[in-house]
Amino acid sequence: MKRIVSVSLGSSRRDHSVNTKLLGIDFEISRRGTDGNFDKALDLLKELDGNVDAIGLGGIDLYLYAGKTRYAVSDGLKLMEAVKKTPVVDGSGLKNTLERETVYYLRRNSRLLPDGCKVLMVSAVDRFGMAEALTEMGCEMTFGDLIFSAGIPYPIKSVEELEEIARKTLPEMTKMPFHMLYPTGEKQDTQDQKKVEKHGHYYHEADVIAGDYHLVRRYMPGDLKGQVVITNTTTRDDVKFLKEKGVGWLVTTTPELEGRSFGTNVMEAALVVLLGKNWEDITPGDYLELMNRLQMKPRVQRL
């Protein structure tokens, strides 16, 4: 039995554990939230180090991207460096491959992503691969990084401008406490009503809303008209929430295990165990080949 634990800065209300089999190997996969408590996350990581097969870091990114340049998030690095023996991943390695493939899959196998459709990505510096793939597919993009993270009502309309702004801001922003940039702990269970009212129209104007679930959720207005949401991790409660808001279709980039999709960090941790290689030596091709063997496909759900 391989044990994988995802340690998240997010709410412990989303904790979950499943047993599953991947390529004939038994896995116990669990998620443990620390309600935004950084020190608790550090302690938990130290406790797990050497006692599980891989650790996923959730609710925080280790790296944010401006094109091919990546910037390490200081708080994420502190967590990673607490782990000395066990492989630890944040999902960023897999995300680039998995989320690009999700976009290509939707274009090939559905009518949810037609040429010219309007896509709002609530944040793109945490998933540059998806941003590039959507642009490549001819979608009319609105990147909401400044709108939702900084409260600046300026829609970024191209990958080039996103990259230019990211190059200016990420080297410094990644040094800030992560909770200033991303909802952690109980903020994940609530909405920012002020921003919902001020910036909710960007959701209404889009055909497709894509990005990290906690960001998508935090700023989502009601009265949506059947929009498509492409995101990573959802629970049954999340699906109910999206349905109530008027979302028409839900696409999750990671496969479902016992009624919920786990975070990309969890899936990457599982793939690292299956590959048996050092994380630094794993290539996008390794992930792609393994994803094909596992027949990993995005989950497409009509709400």
Distance between CA 237 and CA 183 in Å, rounded? Answer: 18
Q: Is residue 77 a contact residue for another protein (CB under 8 A)? A: no
55 binds another protein per the rule CB under 8 A: no
Q: Which is nearer to another protein, 84 or 175 (CB)?
A: 175
Closest CA to 81 of 55, 111, 108: 55
What minimum distance in Å lies between the beta carbon of 204 and another protein? Answer: 18
Q: For residue 116, with 0-12 CB atoms within 10 Å meaning exposed, 13-18 middle and 19 or more buried, which class applies?
A: exposed
Contact string 144-173 vs another protein (x = CB under 8 A): --x--xxxxxx----------x-xxx-xxx
Task: Give strand ranges (E) for 98-215.
Answer: 118-121, 140-143, 208-210
Based on DSSP, count helices (H) and strands (E) in the chain, helices before strands.
Answer: 12, 15
Of 23 and 152, the one with the shorter C-beta distance to another protein is 152
Q: Which of 176, 193, 244, 293 binds another protein (CB under 8 A)?
A: 176
**Using rule CB under 8 A, residue 50 touches another protein:** no
Smallest separation (angstroms) from another protein to the CB of 128? 18
Q: Which two tokens stand for residue 9?
A: 């800065």
- Is 36 or 93 the residue whose CB approaches another protein more closely? 36
Q: How many residues bind another protein (CB under 8 A)?
A: 18
Nearer to another protein by Cβ, of 78 and 299: the residue is: 78
Residue span binding another protein (CB under 8 A) among the ranges 21-29, 143-151, 253-261, 289-297: 143-151
Does 277 engage in binding with another protein (CB under 8 A)? Answer: no
Cα–Cα nearest to 87, from 126, 48, 58, 37: 48
In the complex with another protein, the residue whose CB is nearer, 31 or 218, is 218
274 φ, ψ (degrees, to nearest 5): -65, -40
138 binds another protein (CB under 8 A): no
| 197 part of the interface to another protein, by CB under 8 A | no
Structure tokens at 227: 């929009």
Taking the least distance from each CB to another protein, the nearer of 138 and 153 is 153
Contact between residue 179 and residue 196 where contact means Cβ atoms under 8 Å apart: no
- Residue 25 touching another protein (CB under 8 A): no
CA–chain centroid gap for 126, Å, is 8
Closest alpha carbon to 188 in 196, 197, 179: 179
Long-range CB pairs of 239-244 (<8 Å, 24+ gap) are 239/301, 239/303, 241/217, 242/303, 243/303
The residue (of 149 and 264) whose beta carbon lies closer to another protein is: 149
CB of 129 to another protein, least distance (A): 23
Answer yes or no whether residue 293 interacts with another protein by CB under 8 A: no
* Contacting positions for another protein (CB under 8 A): 146, 149-154, 165, 167-169, 171-173, 175-176, 180-181
